[in-house]
Amino acid sequence: MSRALVLSGSIGMGHDVVAEACASALAGAGWEADIVDCMDMLGRASSRAGRGIMRTLMAVPGVYDAFHFSQLRTGSPVARLLDRAAARQLVGPLAELLSRRPAELLLSVFATGAAAADRLKAAQPWLHSVVYCTDACPHALWTHPGTDLFLVTSDMSAAFISYHRPDATVTVLPAAARPAFYSPPTRAEARAALGVPAGSGCAVVMAGAWGMAPLERIAVALADSGLHVLAVAGTNRALAARLEMVAGGRPDITAFGFTDRIPELMAAADLVVTTPGDTCTEARLVGRPLLLLDTVPGHGRENLQLELARGGASVVAVKPALIAEAAKGIIEAGRHQVASVERPDPGAWARSLLDALATVGVSPADDAEVMG
């Protein structure tokens, strides 16, 4: 059986979502696909430090914007130095894993994984190295000379790969999503399960796994405007506690921490209020419009612009009263009726991924190439 390692990184949930979709598509075609968390492979101390640094950079206004646009996007010497240091820590554990369970495909959905894959391929040239990046404008650390194929989700993203590596082979795919979003429950079923009144306007409010927005204040403003609110804190425990506090005694606010019920929540809602990212793809599959919050710095600014260009989305300043006004306007104008669009074929994305891999000689028939 052909084997692949999908190299992810648990910073937020975005990389994990894409990794899960890729592994599912490969498994459906007969591959044995293992998802590897590069952050965990760095070791407990390094992974905790990496996540902490990232949270700090993104929490201080302007800091991550400056780092992203002046260092990561351009591939400055400082950024390359940090990238090489992280990749060096990954190469040993990944090489050991490959020696125990040989694979012919390294599919990186995390930039540091892409750097490590490049080093592994230099030592083991029979490996196929493929990068799948869902960012609007992939920064320089996504691109390496040994990568055989870059998979992106827009022509804009493809142009930025070529900006960094003009000779790259690039294929544009639809954005990936987890299988559950292709077959959500009906609005009536979801509302009954969640206790949302049948005739009320309803909004889901979230801000990524890290909860990067004042969701408790936004939830109150939306509820005060007459909407039923389903508020999701993600992995942010402090935010989850604040949401539970404001939801206490209010039947029009339901608070969630980390939950796997997002397809159900979206199905129950008329509108998804969120930050730009993979949630936008999921909301479109369920058939819900987006009201985007501009709270994610750096690549988040670029992703927001791409989501607006894709349509079905509006943007609003992160001021609770303005968000409530915008949400009410979208729902009352009937723009939530995009729910009637034709449901996409759940197998189409998997086929597009496999077709793209085949263009660089990667298929389940490659067993003869496995070296070990």
**Residue 46 has what pLDDT?**
65
Do 232 and 332 sit in the same domain of this protein? yes
Sequence length of the chain is: 372
Distances (CA, A) of 338 to 176, 327, 335: 20, 15, 7
Answer for the pair 218, 320: CB distance below 8 angstroms, yes or no.
yes
Q: With contact defined as beta carbons under 8 Å apart, do 211 and 236 qualify? A: yes
Q: Is 142 in the same domain as 77?
A: yes
User: Are 125 and 232 contained in the same domain?
Assistant: no
Instruction: Give this prediction's pTM.
Output: 0.89
Same-domain status, 34 and 133: yes
208 and 264 belong to one structural domain: yes
Q: Which residue has the tokens 């990794």?
A: 19
pLDDT at 177: 85
Q: Look up residue 355 and give its amino acid.
A: D
Distance from C-alpha of 185 to C-alpha of 106, rounded to nearest angstrom:
35
| pLDDT tens digits along 53-64 | 677 777 777 898
The tens digit of pLDDT for each residue in 269-297 reads 999 999 998 899 999 999 999 999 999 99
In a shared domain, residues 325 and 199: yes
Same domain for 143 and 215?
no
Q: What is the DSSP string of 328-363?
A: HHHHHTTGGGGGGSPPPPTTHHHHHHHHHHHTTT-S
Q: What is the pLDDT of residue 368?
A: 37
Return the pLDDT at 345: 74
Regions in the chain scoring below 70 on pLDDT? 1, 12-13, 44-53, 335-344, 364-372
- Alpha-carbon span 40 to 52, nearest angstrom: 14
CATH number where 327 lies: 3.40.50.2000
Distance CA 33, CA 23 (A): 5
For residues 154 and 192, membership in a common domain is answered with: no
Indicate if 10 and 117 belong to the same structural domain. Answer: yes
**Overall number of domains in the chain:** 2
Residues 6+ apart with CB under 8 A from 122: 146
Domain range enclosing 82 = 3-178+346-369
* Nearest-angstrom CA–CA distance, 62 and 78: 18
Instruction: Clarify whether residues 10 and 58 are in a common domain.
Output: yes
213 and 357 housed in the same domain = no
- The Cα-based distances of 132 to 110, 154, 294, 324, 356 in angstroms read 8, 12, 24, 36, 11
Q: Are residues 191 and 281 in the same domain?
A: yes
